[in-house]
Amino acid sequence: MSEENQDDQDLSLIEHLEALRATLIKCFTSVAVILPFSFFFAPKTLDFLIGRLVGNNNITLNYFSPMEVFILQIKLALLLSLLAAFPYIAKKIWDFLLPALYEKERNFIRNIVFSSTLLFVFGVTFCLFVILPLIINFGMSFASSHIQAVFGISNIINLALGLSFTFGLMFQVPLVTHFLIKWDILSYEAISSKRPYVVVAILILAALLTPPDIVSQLLLFLPTYLLFELGLIFSKGTKRDEKV
């Protein structure tokens, strides 16, 4: 390799690193710019989450240190900032990757990002509106005249955020199943014949990703397994496209 070609490659690498650096700075800056506005909506978001989780139950959430609620609001403000800045961040990352991609690769990434985002939103929504109220109601069912439930606000909100993120991830199962079959990594017959192993794997993941109680684990396992079967149904007969 000539010295001139080596210099051109070094320059190209430096240019790509500079472009990546500029992209990351813009992404972090967008979150920082939105953050002060997110602090305004954080208390309202906290009230909304509490309303969804508590429902009609006669529950008073408690906090046990002076800064506990404020720290929760900071977490929610950061989360809201990331959500609000996500379209801009996705656009900047896309602009950075676009020149290096062929048309089929661009279409593939568009499809997988759209499908993954949609499934993640469905998972979070399902968790907030169905699963978490069920968990709270189940916990309240043990209350009696001698046993009263005392819930800490941090425990409840952290549970809500953690489980929502977990359900968002686990709702990617049909997408993963579809692309494993579509790209000939595994065949439909190979996956469908390994259902017992899939069941065990999902149970293990549910145990690792949820609080240490059987109810949360089952509530994550059941929809995840149904999504796995749904992914198999939609993937049956799927064949791999030409290589991009």
pLDDT of residue 242: 43
Please give the DSSP secondary-structure letter assigned to residue 148: -
Contact 231, 115 (CB under 8 A): no
pLDDT at 151: 83
Q: For residue 100, what is the DSSP state?
A: G
Instruction: Please check whether residue 235 is in contact with residue 189, taking contact to mean a CB–CB distance below 8 angstroms.
Output: no
Mean pLDDT of 224-241: 75
Percent of the chain topping pLDDT 70: 90
CA 64, chain centre distance (Å): 29
- Closest to 89 (Cα-Cα) out of 115, 121, 117, 108: 117
- pLDDT at position 223 is 87
Closest CA to 230 of 108, 115, 129: 115
Contact 92/23 with Cβ under 8 angstroms? Answer: yes
Whether pLDDT at 196 is above 60: yes
Q: What is the mean pLDDT of residues 89-108?
A: 78
Closest by alpha carbon to 135, among 111, 114, 163, 112?
A: 163
- Contacts of the segment 101-107: beta carbons below 8 A, 24+ positions apart: 102/244, 104/241, 104/242, 104/244, 105/244
